[in-house]
Amino acid sequence: MESRPYATWEKLLAALCHLVPIVGPLLTLLFGRKSAFVRRHAQEAVVFQISCLIALTISAFLAIILVGYLLIVFFSLVYCVSTIYAIVLSLKGKPYTYPVATYVTDQLFA
What CA–CA distance (Å, rounded) separates 27 from 33?
A: 11
Question: Which letter does DSSP use for residue 92 in this model?
Answer: T
Residue-wise pLDDT for 10-39, tens only, equals 999 999 999 998 898 999 888 877 788 999
pTM: 0.85
pLDDT range class, residue 104, cuts 50, 70, 90: confident
What CA–CA distance (Å, rounded) separates 71 from 24?
A: 26
Residues 6+ apart with CB under 8 A from 90: 11, 14, 15, 17, 18, 41, 96
pLDDT range class, residue 81, cuts 50, 70, 90: very high
